[in-house]
Amino acid sequence: MDIQTVGVVGLGNMGLGMAATLVRNGFRVIGTDVNAARGAAAEAAGVRFIPAPAEVLCGADALVVSLPLARDVEAVVTAEGGLLARRDRKVVVIDTSTSDPQTTRRLAARLAKAGHALLDAPVSGGPSGAAEGTLTMMIGGDEADYALARPVLQAMSARAPHVGPSGAGNIVKLVNNLLVAAHLVTTGEAMRLSEAAGLSAEDAAAIVNTATGRSAVSEVMLPRWVLPGTFDSGFSAGLMRKDVRLALDLAAKTGTALPLSAHVGRIWEEARARIPDTADFTRMADYRITEGDA
């Protein structure tokens, strides 16, 4: 089935960038957000802003959902008089938020009963990747639904591999973000050690990034947001804490012992006083502060 109109639910840092990218790629895009003030920015990007979510759910050929929590996604796509009531065509919901696999599978089954589909499609690349169409998307769901949504996915991303059945995208995203959370802690500590021993973080990082200790944190986040002290990646510490909790919850549900990751989770929770949920998540790698700093 051809997809011409894409509805975007959630026009925040990520959603608006994805919506604008879809417009540039030739889709008719309609969008909604609980914050009506986002309407002006949406219209400026070529997105038709509709305050009522039900109108977006009923008027789109495919839906891209960018909301903070799984319960928000579930509430929107199962709202009375919305998507579940549609019988005119099959609509694929592309859920770009990070959720737990169990919730994803339950919601996918409910949508399938109504003739629709859900792809869990968490993303990596931040607001800049959303705006430039260079995201990495991790797709879980039925292969036929993945094929149907491929034009939309390709427009928003540089890579959008089909990982596996429903929930698989969220599993790999939780694994990814658990690693990022740990890398932020260890990179910050390593740079603090270098500074204390008399070598600047800049000089140490330049060598680390040619050696085996490098990571996306040291190669990208450190020079872009940590070393200059801007801390404006667009992804909050609160969202990272949520993802770490989801990963550790998944570990508990599967009976998987993750002692080091559990300690990383405690570090993130205990750092709340100096790195509140509203702060940028890259602050965790700030080598200028110590564990005791508030």
- The answer to whether residue 121 scores a pLDDT higher than 80 is yes
Q: How far apart are CA 245 and CA 268, in angstroms?
A: 10
CATH number where 175 lies? 1.10.1040.10
- The answer to whether residue 5 scores a pLDDT higher than 90 is yes
Residue that has been written with the tokens 């957000």 in this structure? 33
Residue 292's pLDDT band (boundaries 50, 70, 90)? low
Q: How far apart are CA 255 and CA 235, in angstroms?
A: 30
User: Is 293 within the bounds of a domain?
Assistant: no
- The answer to whether residue 212 scores a pLDDT higher than 50 is yes
Asked whether residue 57 falls in the same domain as residue 160, the answer is yes
> Which pair of structure tokens corresponds to residue 291?
């564990």
pLDDT per residue as tens digits for the range 278-291: 999 999 999 998 65
Write the DSSP assignment of 185-208 as a string of letters.
HHHHHHHHHHHHTT--HHHHHHHH
pLDDT at 294: 44
Q: Exactly one of 90, 173, 242, 253 is catalytic; which is it?
A: 173
pLDDT at 289: 80
Q: Give exposure, 96-115, as e/b (b: 16+ Cβ within 10 Å).
A: bbbbbbebbbbbbeebeebe
| Number of domains the chain contains | 2
Residue 173 annotated as catalytic = yes
- The answer to whether residue 128 scores a pLDDT higher than 70 is yes
Of 115, 149, 166, which one is at a domain's C-terminal end? 166
Asked whether residue 233 falls in the same domain as residue 185, the answer is yes
Residue from 4, 167, 166, 7 nearest 83 by CA: 7
Averaged pLDDT, 169-176: 97
Query: Residue 262 belongs to what domain range?
Result: 170-285
CATH number where 68 lies? 3.40.50.720
Mean pLDDT for the chain overall: 95
Asked whether residue 145 falls in the same domain as residue 233, the answer is no
pLDDT at 283: 98
